[in-house]
Amino acid sequence: DAGVTQSPTHLIKTRGQQVTLRCSPKSGHDTVSWYQQALGQGPQFIFQYYEEEERQRGNFPDRFSGHQFPNYSSELNVNALLLGDSALYLCASSLALQGNNYGYTFGSGTRLTVV
Protein backbone atom coordinates (compact mmCIF):
# COMPACT_ATOMS: atom_id res chain seq x y z
CA ASP A 1 0.00 0.00 0.00
CA ALA A 2 1.81 3.07 -1.30
CA GLY A 3 1.85 5.98 1.08
CA VAL A 4 2.17 9.63 0.11
CA THR A 5 4.92 10.20 -2.45
CA GLN A 6 6.61 13.56 -2.89
CA SER A 7 9.14 14.66 -5.48
CA PRO A 8 11.80 15.83 -5.61
CA THR A 9 13.28 15.11 -2.17
CA HIS A 10 15.71 18.02 -2.33
CA LEU A 11 15.82 21.14 -4.47
CA ILE A 12 18.08 24.19 -4.65
CA LYS A 13 16.75 27.29 -6.40
CA THR A 14 17.93 30.85 -6.84
CA ARG A 15 16.04 33.81 -5.44
CA GLY A 16 13.43 35.03 -7.92
CA GLN A 17 13.01 31.68 -9.64
CA GLN A 18 9.88 29.55 -9.70
CA VAL A 19 9.52 26.01 -8.35
CA THR A 20 7.02 23.17 -8.69
CA LEU A 21 6.69 20.43 -6.10
CA ARG A 22 4.69 17.28 -6.67
CA CYS A 23 2.64 14.96 -4.49
CA SER A 24 0.85 11.67 -5.06
CA PRO A 25 -1.63 10.89 -2.27
CA LYS A 26 -2.02 7.59 -0.51
CA SER A 27 -4.02 5.08 -2.53
CA GLY A 28 -7.74 5.66 -1.90
CA HIS A 29 -7.32 9.23 -0.65
CA ASP A 30 -8.88 12.13 -2.52
CA THR A 31 -7.81 15.22 -0.56
CA VAL A 32 -4.36 16.80 -0.52
CA SER A 33 -3.05 19.42 1.89
CA TRP A 34 0.25 21.25 1.73
CA TYR A 35 2.28 22.47 4.71
CA GLN A 36 5.46 24.51 5.03
CA GLN A 37 7.85 23.70 7.86
CA ALA A 38 10.70 26.09 8.56
CA LEU A 39 13.72 24.73 10.39
CA GLY A 40 13.00 24.17 14.07
CA GLN A 41 9.31 25.02 13.79
CA GLY A 42 6.01 23.23 13.40
CA PRO A 43 4.34 22.87 9.99
CA GLN A 44 2.11 25.71 8.74
CA PHE A 45 -0.93 25.10 6.56
CA ILE A 46 -0.66 26.45 3.01
CA PHE A 47 -3.81 25.13 1.35
CA GLN A 48 -5.97 22.08 0.73
CA TYR A 49 -7.28 20.67 -2.55
CA TYR A 50 -10.35 18.54 -3.08
CA GLU A 51 -12.20 17.75 -6.31
CA GLU A 52 -9.53 19.71 -8.21
CA GLU A 53 -10.34 22.92 -6.38
CA GLU A 54 -8.67 24.85 -3.59
CA ARG A 55 -10.97 24.21 -0.66
CA GLN A 56 -9.18 26.17 2.03
CA ARG A 57 -6.15 28.43 2.21
CA GLY A 58 -3.85 29.45 5.02
CA ASN A 59 -2.04 32.73 5.49
CA PHE A 60 0.29 32.53 2.50
CA PRO A 61 0.72 35.06 -0.32
CA ASP A 62 -0.54 34.54 -3.85
CA ARG A 63 2.98 33.53 -4.89
CA PHE A 64 1.95 30.14 -3.56
CA SER A 65 -0.48 28.35 -5.85
CA GLY A 66 -1.50 24.79 -6.45
CA HIS A 67 -3.33 22.36 -8.58
CA GLN A 68 -5.01 19.01 -8.19
CA PHE A 69 -5.36 16.59 -11.08
CA PRO A 70 -8.18 14.12 -11.81
CA ASN A 71 -6.05 11.29 -10.36
CA TYR A 72 -5.92 13.28 -7.07
CA SER A 73 -2.21 14.07 -7.36
CA SER A 74 -1.24 17.65 -6.65
CA GLU A 75 1.36 20.29 -7.39
CA LEU A 76 2.54 23.21 -5.30
CA ASN A 77 3.97 26.15 -7.25
CA VAL A 78 5.92 28.99 -5.70
CA ASN A 79 6.79 32.04 -7.82
CA ALA A 80 9.39 34.75 -7.22
CA LEU A 81 11.21 32.72 -4.59
CA LEU A 82 12.50 34.47 -1.50
CA LEU A 83 15.23 33.30 0.85
CA GLY A 84 12.51 32.89 3.48
CA ASP A 85 10.79 30.26 1.35
CA SER A 86 13.56 27.83 2.27
CA ALA A 87 11.79 25.08 4.19
CA LEU A 88 10.55 21.52 4.19
CA TYR A 89 7.33 21.28 2.19
CA LEU A 90 5.04 18.53 3.33
CA CYS A 91 2.11 16.99 1.52
CA ALA A 92 -0.65 15.26 3.47
CA SER A 93 -3.50 13.19 2.10
CA SER A 94 -6.85 12.16 3.51
CA LEU A 95 -10.25 10.83 2.47
CA ALA A 96 -13.01 13.41 2.55
CA LEU A 97 -15.70 10.84 3.37
CA GLN A 98 -13.95 9.96 6.62
CA GLY A 99 -14.73 13.38 7.99
CA ASN A 100 -12.72 15.40 10.47
CA ASN A 101 -11.83 12.79 13.07
CA TYR A 102 -9.07 11.00 11.22
CA GLY A 103 -5.40 11.81 11.05
CA TYR A 104 -3.56 12.77 7.90
CA THR A 105 -0.98 10.66 6.08
CA PHE A 106 2.12 12.73 5.37
CA GLY A 107 4.81 12.31 2.76
CA SER A 108 8.53 12.59 3.52
CA GLY A 109 8.62 16.13 2.19
CA THR A 110 10.64 18.19 -0.25
CA ARG A 111 13.54 20.18 1.20
CA LEU A 112 13.70 23.48 -0.71
CA THR A 113 16.74 25.70 -0.34
CA VAL A 114 16.65 29.17 -1.88
CA VAL A 115 20.06 30.79 -2.40
Partner 1 sequence: SQQGEEDPQALSIQEGENATMNCSYKTSINNLQWYRQNSGRGLVHLILIRSNEREKHSGRLRVTLDTSKKSSSLLITASRAADTASYFCALRGVNAGNMLTFGGGTRLMVKP
Interface contacts to partner 1, rule CB under 8 A: 4, 31, 33, 35, 37, 39-45, 48, 55-56, 58, 88, 90, 92, 100-109, 111
Give the C-alpha separation, 53 to 84, whole Å: 27
How would you list the strands of the sheet with 74-78, edge to edge?
Answer: 5-7, 19-24, 74-78, 64-68
- Of 39 and 83, which has the nearer Cβ to partner 1? 39
Residue 66's beta-bridge partner residues? 76
φ, ψ for residue 96, nearest 5 deg: -60, -35
Identify the sign of the CA torsion 53, 93, 12, 114: positive
CB-CB contact of 96 with 25 (8 Å): no
- For residue 115, the minimal CB distance to partner 1 (Å) is 19
- For residue 90, the minimal CB distance to partner 1 (Å) is 7
- For residue 16, the minimal CB distance to partner 1 (Å) is 26
- Of 76 and 92, which has the nearer Cβ to partner 1? 92
- Of 11 and 88, which has the nearer Cβ to partner 1? 88
- Of 81 and 91, which has the nearer Cβ to partner 1? 91
- For residue 106, the minimal CB distance to partner 1 (Å) is 4
